[in-house]
Structure 1
Amino acid sequence: MLRLCLLLLSIVSLLVSFATNAQSVISVSSVSQATDNLASPSEFLGYPLGQWHLRHDQINYYLKQLAQNSPRVSLESTGQSHEARQQLTAVITSAPNQARLAQIIAGRQQVKTGKAPDGPLIIWLAYSIHGDEASGAHAALEVGYRLSQSQEPWVQDLLDKAVVLITPSQNPDGLDRFSTWTNNYTGKIKVSDENHNEHRQNWPAGRRNHYFADLNRDWLFLRHPESQGRIALFHKWQPHYLGDFHEMGHNQTFFFQPGVPTRTHPLTPKENQEITDKLASFHAKALDESKQAYFTKQMFDDFYYGKGSTYPDINGAVGILFEQASVRGQQQDSENGLLRFSQAIDNQIATSFSSLKGALALADELKQYQSRFYQRRDKHPPSGREAGFLLSAQGDPARRDDLAELLNRHEIQVFYLKENMQQDRHQYRQDDSLFVPINQPQKTLLLALFDLRTEFEDATFYDVSSWNLVFSYNLQMARNVNLNVDDLLTQPRPYSPARLSPNDVAVLVDWRQQNAAPLLQTLLSEGIRVKFAAKPFSLKVKGHTLNMMPGTLQIPLTQAVLTPRGLVDRLEALAKQYDVKLQGVDTGLASSGIDLGSPDFHDIAPIKALVVTGYGTSSTEVGELWYFMDNLVGAPLTQVDVSRLPRIDLTPYTHVFLVDGSYANLEEKYARKLGQFAIEGGVIVAQKGALQWLSNGNLLKSDIREKRYFSQLFATDGLTFGDKARLDARQAIGGAVMALDLDASHPITFGLGGNRLPVLKNKVFGLSKTQAPFVTAATYADDPLLDGFLAEEYQRSLSQTPAIIVERHGKGALVALADNLLFRNIWLGSQKVYANSLYFIPALH
């Protein structure tokens, strides 16, 4: 019996062993069969990878082929670009990990609690956020292919222990603009001359997206859908490592971080930079093997958190920037010899794999760093009494809601007031205020978004030195307020629809509301008459005194296009659509100030605006104006290339916009044509460099100050050659917040909410004091620097000089702006100046 039992056990053991081996064989066989169907990028394309620049649809189609044919690959969609191109990310890991992705993702959602379960390492390789830096997108396909089918032991070990996210193209619209351009100029015989059209894109080039925005400056501000989808993916997966692959000038070699040590933001943990140093050895080894020259700790930095390589650093991960010398075509001569696109792709592939190997080798350190980042006691879910920021948009609920949405996208929790409250002699109203607790899981990022500093170890900045949301949103703020969050609201109060009566004489709209502009534009487009108040006034309405500011809109209920009942119904519908508060009034008699029938209420005329574009103009600023008109105002903006401008009949237009740039190719005599346009009632809105051309053409009467004037303010006596870089840094204005003192009675400042306005200055440019009366609408404050770095020489020289000038020209006007008040479309606090230029300035004749 014993022998029989032993025999049975032996048979069972053999059967189990056979079944296990069979299962293993079946698993390997299925992987083999699946990967046998995988075509390499070159096989898929029918030509060597990089022989032609890829379009975004080719990239997406190949990712779908990988997902269809490899059990290691699935896809994540992060929405669409402005031009409706689908944004895909490949999720590559072992087949068993793919089967439990939902469990892995659920675990990643616990990261910010500091109690995330142990799981795979998350590595994100993100490429080509600048559309004309195309070597990364091409390399991404090759890296994805190898990971999808390789049987190398280290790859299998990697995919057992990690999930690799690969996003080949983070800027689909720009990439397609670039690939079309460069392919159109590529022939059978490759031209390496840097002057060849292939290497010199036409305006606006492919670096930026549909609205000409630099998406690698939008990680914090999230103005664009590409960025919003990218940030959602980041917080869904909470990566440990993010590789950010770029290109730089073609005369450089190759850069990888660490960057300049003294230019790391103080809020970045020291441990982050220590891991960055360790990872550098893996990248160096990979490039040494191919004898590719490289450099570190120069040029680039880790300061501004709105970039792909630094946003991870303030979110518990390690971001690494890679910069490959750019070919901008197939091959180009450089100071380091002939640069080929194929070589650029190979370098990006090499550092992609060094990223994977380095992250795998340092997996424990990356995981521990992330855990410690979120395990601090002050990073807890808010409850009970908490210290925090109390913020008010001062009469503009839409601006408050925009801020709340932005913070929520970064997973920062905000609360709404149940009732009005007083704090530091200021009123915080329930309909325009937020409370943001400091001690919450995203505390470090929160502090970075509201960071306030004017002193720096190193005054050199790759990007802006300030991005404080208090200033960009023009908020009233109390920094250390203690409130019980359990007594606050987690959602804003529901919209309360306007209740108007056809028996009223008029409807009033507070112009401070951000969405008053699109409501106004809709009314004008429908032929409804609207006026604005040039002076303040008060009315008694149902026993209460209604105090209204200059800029208030008045919509008389007696109109030619609609009956009072029909107009009331239309206004109530628009108020709900735009979330704008309306106020019906049953009398035109003011208790103080102007009556509703006063000549100081001016009719607002319909607008038709034109912006000059093309070579020499700033594509960024054109795009910001276009975005503003398209997405906020809701009005068409005609874009005219500077080369066509002399032939354009300006008669149909009410406004001409001139952004920063050099207009050297536009004859100065054309300024006379613009002058005639203004004399006949047109409005010219010009900023920064455009004012130089207008001055040369004698259209701008005020004097300007450019770089040559300001450079004389800096002493150079006793400086050595080694001091040159430091002097250059002090003479640069990379982006600092300045305070403007406003003439609150001037229509260009209506709706800005006070006598002071923060603006971002990012160019060495100024206007001289003018003796002409009633021209200067805003000056730099006596002590102008609010945040960021600005040399004392600039502070002293700009103090009390004009920042906004409005010159009369016949029936029209010239609005001169020393700064770009739309900066990256995050400067919501000052963008109303453009709306005022559109609707109020034409009435100043």
Structure 2
Amino acid sequence: MKKITFLVIVFTQFISGQNDITLDYYLPQNVSYNANIPTPKEIIGHEVGEWHVTHDKLVTYMKKLAEASPRISIENRGTTYEGRPILLLTVTSEKNQANIEQIRQDHIRLTENNSNALNTDNMPIVVYQGFSIHGNEPSGSNAALAAAYYLAAAEGNEIDNLLNNTIILFDPSFNPDGLQRFAYWANSNRSHVLNPDPNDREYDEVWPGGRTNHYWFDLNRDWLPIQLPESQARIESFHHWMPNILTDHHEMGTNSTFFFQPGEPSRVNPLTPKMNQQLTKEIAKYHAKALDKIGSLYYSEEDYDDFYYGKGSTFPDINGSIGILFEQGSSRGHLQESENGILTFPFTIRNQFTTVLSTLEAAKNLRVDILNYQRDFYTNARSEASKTKNKAYIFGDEKDATKAYQLAKIMKSHLIDLYEPTGDITINGKDYKKENSYIVPKNQKNHRLIEAMFDIRTKFEDSLFYDISAWTFPYAFNLDFTETTTTGNKIDHLSIKKGSINKESSYAYLFEWHEYYTPKALNMILSKGIRAKVGKTPFFVEGKDYDYGTIMIPVQNQKLNKTALYNFLKKTADVSHIDITAVSTGLTTGIDLGSNDFEALKNQKVALIVGNGITSYDAGEIWHLFDQQYNMQISKLDTDNLNRTDLDRYTAIILPNMRGNALSSSIINNLKEWVRNGGTLIGFRNTVNWLKNNDLLKINLKEKEMTARNISFEQKESFSGAQVTGGAIFEARIDRSHPINFGYKNKTLPMFRNTNIYIEPNEQSYNNPIQYTPKPLLSGYISEENLELLKGSVPFQVQRLGRGRVIGFTDNTNFRAFWYGTNKLLMNAVFFSKIM
């Protein structure tokens, strides 16, 4: 009984402490503060940590600080998908603010030629501090309230010295939409009497959670691909300033303590200089000292790594900067039990706040060393680049200008110089058309970043990866590429290919299926009620070859008259960046335009199953693909409501990666009946197992039991982790005549894989239109055992069920929005399933 009474007293103390929290809990003691600077509570109506700050309140406070303090300037760099501002504060001394552009230009000069004339003893260091890129890891953005107040209001020699020698780029919320979503959840489930019970609803947010942005993307994987508006804003800021240190404040499991980098020493990308990690260790000493002072437990050089350059704490490392990851054990709400005692939200905020200041102290004290490191990084990079002489990469696709443009756009955003070939050229049997190709000279400032983007690596020091092990961009875009000594003309401004239609026709219009945006064009045509057909075999007419999958629009018997049809197709070509050709005859070499080998196409009504049990990342990628890339309607059907949904409205239903038994037996029966009546069910990743187990897809899987031999208990985690295929790139042979491969010009296709699902090939060879080659590994890590299983397996199968089709993909063809090269596989499954 005494023990229970003691626990009640402890809980009451924690609860009381949470409700009575003041700003003094976070701020350094013995520091005076400017009374003219408003505290967070005076603006947002509650103390830091009392409630979860919503993004709108965070924005309001940051704007008020900028109005009140001459140390702070503020800019809105754009908006999220939900229309929220993407703010950046620049914090420094009033004197520096008056000369900020000259300081920036001098700082950039440190990365250029002839930087030795600059005296780093007299230069400020630039620190980019960013918070809560995962919206349900909120202690970072809530700490930003206290940190911004401290930087604006603190007085004395210490803060003056810091601000005179430091430019702070302060990003209070990396993920505005996600932060808002999670704050709503935590606040709407907060009790007056705070309850630390981890079973309480407060600590179990509804699907998809607040981690991601509007389209359910993990923004911390988008620093290199920069496909999302939040990423585009911060990468522009990064290159505008070239900060010396970038911090990324996260959270981890409730039972964890606090982590700061460096991470696992054996998992650092080999392209990262060793001095980067040495300086990271020096900075880490300041975090340890600061956390020791407040009694917080922590660890370093474990768990996390610096391999994938698409993460916020690793992207800086290939750009002459130092990335620092912080991970705080999460309260996930306001107060929660943990193995380390009752974990309060204010405590998590205080740790983040403490390391904001320790980072700035380290930057101030190591300022000259870190500035010199940045200069040396680019000096050494230029030296490496000069040894490449006139070598370059060339990439392109003779049939698809858009994919090449999209990769060029990414590289241009990273300030990489691009050149256009002076004419069409052929290298190693691949044709590079002038208007569809780009040359990337190796001998330029961002040489190391270029090598990181084109990196092909199959040997690794460690077999464990926190994220993917390969991201080779030309493979991701399914582009032809090679090294070359070809030169060209520098491109100052990128422009996407314009669409065209050559003339008005009285007979028919044709366009090949190769260009990236052809699904957008076809959807516009079918949605307008215009009849269109797809050619199943190649043909030649009026001086031009047409490949598998060519779309034909007859002029006669359409709902639009001849001129109106032409005008509509002209608009369609323009917005879809495709070429449409008018023809005057149906007589061809090959199949004639009236042949039965032209199949009529129907307007597609597509649904996407989302909700509990579905991986939100995968679902969001598909939603984004339809909504943003192809401008196609897609209905999101929640798993909780599927029993009440009229499936007959839809021609195709997509089932992303699924965990457990997300769908009830009645839903399964409804889906089976819907397929039998003519629907197309498309499943990805683990859903392939579900399709098999529920007799929707008859396949055999290749499996091998992994038995540990001479593995100690200590090595157990490493042994099992080595069997994870977290993300690598493999070569598949494709049958171009199969409708799933319409629009692909090569006989092989780079495929991204992050599962260990291996389908045995069908006994009928024509049922294996995509099959991994005998030597499939192109780039990345896979264990020897899994590589053997992969060889000859098939990542795709399609089978009839009644009048419908069931399609299974073992892997994600839409990975993180930048895997443009395999996006069309899903669109082919949607539009052409009936002829498979």
Same fold (TM over 0.5): yes
Residue in structure 2 matched with residue 743 of structure 1 by the alignment = 735
Unpaired stretches in structure 2, ≥5 consecutive residues: 1-30
1:107: how far off?
2.7
Alignment partner, residue 347 of structure 1: 351
Partner residue in 1 for 2:268: 264
Structure 1 residue identity aligned to 2:504:
P
**Cα distance change on mapping 1:155 and 1:260 into 2, 3 Å:** same
Task: Decide which of 509, 512, 515 is 1:513's aligned counterpart.
Answer: 515
- Structural mapping, 1:401-420, within 5 Å: 401-420=405-424
Say whether the 8 Å CA contact 2:79–2:85 is kept in structure 1.
Answer: yes
Q: How far off its partner does 1:162 sit?
A: 1.2
Does residue 70 in structure 1 map to residue 80 in structure 2? no
Q: Would the aligned equivalents of 2:385 and 2:447 in 1 still touch at CA under 8 Å?
A: no
Task: Give 1:680's aligned residue.
Answer: 677
Matched, 1:57 2:56: yes
**1:777 corresponding residue in structure 2:** 769
1:505 CA drift (Å): 2.1
Is the 1:500–1:568 contact (alpha carbons within 8 Å) kept by the matching residues of 2? no
How has the CA–CA distance of structure 1 residues 185 and 232 changed in structure 2, closer, same or farther, with 3 Å as cutoff? same
Structural mapping, 1:387-406, within 5 Å: 387-406=391-410
Q: SS at the partner of 1:518? A: helix
Matched, 1:556 2:554: yes
Q: Which secondary structure state, in structure 2, belongs to the residue aligned with residue 204 of structure 1?
A: coil
Q: Deviations over 1:129-151 (max 9, x none)?
A: 00011000011111111111211
Q: How many angstroms apart in 2 are the aligned matches of 1:521 and 1:110?
A: 49
Secondary structure at the aligned position of 2:564 is classed as helix
Q: Secondary structure at the match of 2:248?
A: strand
Shift of the 33–275 alpha-carbon distance from structure 1 to 2, 3 Å rule, reads: closer
Q: Is the 8 A contact 2:503 2:581 kept in 1?
A: no
Q: After TM superposition, give the deviation of residue 295 of structure 1 in Å.
A: 0.5
Q: Contact (CA 8 Å) 1:683, 1:814: kept in 2 or not? A: yes
Deviations along 1:342-362, whole A, 9 cap, x unmatched? Answer: 000000011010000001100
Aligned to 1:167: 171
Q: Secondary structure at the match of 1:558?
A: coil
Shift of 1:773: 6.4
Answer with 813-822 or 719-728: which moved more: 719-728
The answer for the alignment partner of 1:15 in structure 2 is none
Counterparts of 1:56-455 in structure 2, within 5 Å, are 56-115=55-114, 117=118, 119-376=123-380, 378=382, 386-455=390-459
Distance 2:790 2:691 in 1: 21
Instruction: Specify the alignment match of 1:48 in structure 2.
Output: 47
Query: For residue 804 of structure 2, what is the aligned residue in structure 1?
Result: 812
Secondary structure of the residue aligned to 1:113 is: coil
SS in 1 for 2:197: coil
Distance in structure 2 (CA, Å) of the matches to 1:499 and 1:523: 14
Comparing 114-123 and 382-391, the one that deviates more: 382-391
Q: Post-superposition shift, 1:508? A: 1.3
Q: Distance in 2 between matches of 1:323 and 1:601?
A: 57
Match of 2:486 in 1: 483
State the partner residue of 1:460.
464
Distance apart, 1:245 and its partner CA: 0.6
SS at 2:337 equivalent: strand
- Distance apart, 1:458 and its partner CA: 0.5
Name the CA distance, whole Å, in 2 between partners of 1:381 and 1:566. 55
The corresponding residue for 1:645 is 642
C-alpha contact (below 8 Å) 1:617/1:663 kept by paired residues: no
Q: Which residue of the partner structure matches residue 24 of structure 2? A: none
Structure 1 distance, partners of 2:388, 2:49, is: 58
Q: Name which one, 1 or 2, has greater alpha-carbon Rg.
A: 1
Alpha-carbon shift at residue 779 of structure 1 (Å): 1.6
TM-score for the superposition, normalised by structure 1: 0.92
Distance (Å, rounded) in 1 between the aligned partners of 2:307 and 2:113: 26
Alignment match, 1:533:
535
Task: Check 1:822–1:495 CA distance in 2 against 1; reply closer, same or farther (3 A cut).
Answer: closer
Residues 725 and 493 (structure 1), Cα distance of their counterparts in 2 relative to 1, 3 Å cut: closer
Residues 58-78 of structure 1: CA distance to partner in whole angstroms, max 9, x if unpaired? Answer: 011101111101111101222
Q: How does 1:575-614 map to 2 (within 5 A)?
A: 575-591=573-589, 593-614=590-611
Distance 1:449 1:172 in 2: 28
Kindly provide the CA deviation profile for residues 286-307 of structure 1, in whole angstroms up to 9, marking residues without a partner as x.
Answer: 0001111100110001111001
Deviations 1:543-581 (A, max 9, x none): x3x111111111222242222222222222222222212
Are 1:507 and 1:557, in contact at CA under 8 Å, matched by a contact in 2? Answer: yes
1:616 is aligned to 613
Structure-2 residue corresponding to 1:570: 568
Amino acid at match of 2:830: L
The amino acid across from 1:801 in the alignment is: S
Shift of 1:410: 0.7
Q: Which amino acid aligns with 2:277?
A: Q
- The verdict on how the C-alpha distance between 1:624 and 1:75 changes in structure 2, with shifts beyond 3 A counting, is same
Q: What secondary structure sits across from 1:431 in the alignment?
A: helix
Deviation per CA, 1:35-84: give whole Å up to 9, x if none: 43211113333332111101111011101111101111101222111101
| Number of the residue aligned with 1:670 | 667
Number of aligned residue pairs: 801
2:594 counterpart SS class: coil
Is this contact kept in 2: 1:140–1:168, CA < 8 A?
A: yes
CA–CA distance in 2 between the matches of 1:569 and 1:431? 26
Shift of 1:403: 0.6
* Native 8 Å contact 2:498 2:578 kept in 1: no
**TM-score (ref. length: structure 2):** 0.93
Whole-angstrom distance in 2 between the partners of 1:736 and 1:840: 28
Question: Whole-Å Cα distance in 1 between the matches of residues 766 and 669 of structure 2?
Answer: 24
Cα offset, 1:106, TM superposition: 2.7
Contact 2:247 2:324 in 1 (8 A): yes
What is the alpha-carbon distance in structure 1 between the residues aligned to residue 371 and residue 722 of structure 2? 39
Tell me the SS of whatever aligns to 2:305: coil
Q: Residue in 1 aligned with 2:622?
A: 625
Deviation of 1:432 after TM superposition, in Å, equals 1.6
The 1:291–1:48 alpha-carbon spacing in structure 2 relative to 1, beyond 3 Å, is same
Mapped partners of 1:621, 1:93: distance in 2: 41
What RMSD, in angstroms, separates the aligned Cα atoms of the two structures? Answer: 2.1
Paired residues of 2:66 and 2:73 also in contact (CA < 8 A) = yes
- Bigger shift: residues 580-589 or 71-80: 580-589
Q: How far apart, in 1, do the equivalents of 2:349 and 2:711 lie?
A: 43
Query: Which deviates the most, 310-319 or 794-803?
Result: 794-803
Supply the distance in 1 between the matched residues of 2:534 and 2:715 (Cα, whole angstroms). 55
The answer as to whether partners of 2:135 and 2:211 remain within 8 angstroms in 1 is yes
Structure 2 residue 697 is the aligned partner of structure 1 residue 700: yes
Report the alpha carbon displacement of residue 380 of structure 1 after superposing the two structures with TM.
10
Once residues 148 and 492 of structure 1 are traced to their aligned partners in structure 2, the CA distance between those partners, rounded to angstroms, is 41
1:76 touches 1:89 (CA, 8 Å); kept in 2?
yes
Query: Is 1:635 matched up with 2:637?
Result: no
Report Cα offsets for 1:359-392 as digits up to 9, x if no partner: 1100001100111111237369999983100112
Given that 1:417 and 1:489 are in contact with CA atoms closer than 8 Å, whether structure 2 keeps it comes out as no
Q: Is the 8 A contact 2:33 2:154 kept in 1?
A: no
Distance 2:723 2:385 in 1: 44
Residue identity matched to 1:550: Y
Aligned equivalents of 2:795, 2:111: Cα separation in 1: 44
* Distance in 2 separating the partners of 1:319 and 1:239: 10
